């Protein structure tokens, strides 16, 4: 993959590898995750199931009043060593109806011409909980984001201009044991730059869907499917279209503590489809959620 292609794949998978020796596990990923889930499933519990810790798909549940979440995500592309780490923090403002968050990305791009590691474009996000404040099967919370031009475009680490992004996440409860999440997104950069300094406006689109099986109160198996269409700058006023598609089986589980802290680790294995056939990655997730003040 070219550096621009690698950056686009990493940003989509983590923002929002297989290690070479793991590429032969593709046919065994789902049985492996099922076996792991059986080992992790606890006995019967009256606790609420985990449902707001998706990986590549954005679920539609804002943070509750007095609760903050810290999300760490790491993805690595197979075969070339490029990786992306993001740290996201989500806050109610002041309650579940409104949510503010930010995403801080650090990435490393490996190419024949050299390697680049550094800060990417920081995202500032606002979400409005339209549906989902009361118990029910549906949740819907549109999001608007500003991506600041903090990454170096000359090194391939940023878009070179401020971008605006809108997302429409919808979550649906399907009985007691299944959830599904649906995403539509668009990103517009009015003055993006490539590594040579050429400028052009770019537009990207994304679609996503996931199904989550509550194998136990604190163990979930999930399969996420994502597609994106992006543009990269190839000359002054000229862009090139690129498509990506991945299916990603994964597993997540939760550890609850008496002080209100919940820790959710997880792992997934994105596998390229169609235009991304032959591309693979590993995705690692770690979330910390805890109260920061007493709720009335």
Q: Is residue 296 part of a domain?
A: no
Q: What percent of the chain has pLDDT over 90?
A: 74
Domain assignment of residue 284, given as a range: 3-291
Highest mean pLDDT: which range of 40-44, 192-196, 213-217: 192-196
Among 17-26, 54-63, 75-84, 268-277, the minimum mean pLDDT is found in 17-26
Q: Is residue 92 part of a domain?
A: yes
Question: What is the residue-wise DSSP string for 188-240?
Answer: EEEEEE-TT--EEEEEEEEEEEEEEEEEETTEEEEEEEEEEEEEEEEETTEEE
| Per-residue model confidence (pLDDT) at position 34 | 47
Q: Is residue 254 part of a domain?
A: yes
Give the integer Cα–Cα distance in Å for 226 and 245: 6
Residue 121 banded pLDDT, cuts 50, 70, 90: very high
Question: In the predicted model, is pLDDT for residue 80 greater than 80?
Answer: no
CATH assignment of the domain containing 194 = 2.40.160.40
Residue 15 banded pLDDT, cuts 50, 70, 90: low
Give the integer Cα–Cα distance in Å for 207 and 169: 10
Question: In the predicted model, is pLDDT for residue 229 greater than 80?
Answer: yes
Question: In the predicted model, is pLDDT for residue 207 greater than 80?
Answer: yes
Number of domains in the chain: 1
């Amino acid at each position: 993959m070219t550096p621009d292609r690698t950056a686009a794949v990493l940003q989509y998978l983590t923002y929002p590898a297989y290690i070479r020796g793991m590429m032969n596990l593709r046919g065994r990923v789902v049985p492996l995750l099922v076996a792991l889930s059986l080992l992790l499933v606890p006995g019967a519990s009256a606790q609420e199931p985990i449902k707001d810790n998706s990986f590549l798909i954005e679920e539609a549940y804002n943070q509750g009043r007095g609760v903050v979440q810290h999300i760490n995500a790491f993805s690595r592309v197979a075969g070339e060593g490029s990786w992306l780490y993001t740290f996201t923090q989500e806050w109610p403002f002041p309650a579940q109806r409104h949510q503010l968050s930010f995403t801080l990305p650090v990435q490393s791009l490996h190419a024949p011409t050299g390697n680049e590691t550094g800060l990417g474009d920081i995202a500032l996000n606002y979400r409005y909980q339209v549906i989902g404040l009361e118990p029910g099967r549906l949740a819907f919370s549109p999001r608007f984001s500003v991506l600041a031009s903090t990454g170096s475009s000359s090194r391939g680490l940023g878009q070179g201009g401020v971008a605006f992004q809108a997302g429409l996440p919808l979550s649906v409860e399907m009985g007691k044991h299944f959830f599904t999440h649906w995403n539509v997104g668009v990103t517009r950069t009015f003055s993006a730059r490539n590594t040579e300094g050429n400028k052009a406006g770019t537009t990207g689109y994304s679609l996503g869907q996931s199904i989550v099986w509550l194998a136990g109160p604190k163990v979930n198996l999930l399969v996420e499917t994502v597609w994106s269409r992006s543009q990269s700058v190839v000359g002054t006023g000229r862009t090139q279209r690129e498509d990506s598609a991945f299916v990603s089986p994964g597993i997540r589980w939760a550890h609850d503590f008496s002080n209100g802290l919940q820790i959710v680790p997880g792992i997934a294995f994105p596998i390229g489809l169609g235009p991304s056939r032959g591309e693979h990655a590993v995705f690692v997730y770690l979330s910390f959620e805890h109260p920061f003040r007493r709720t009335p």
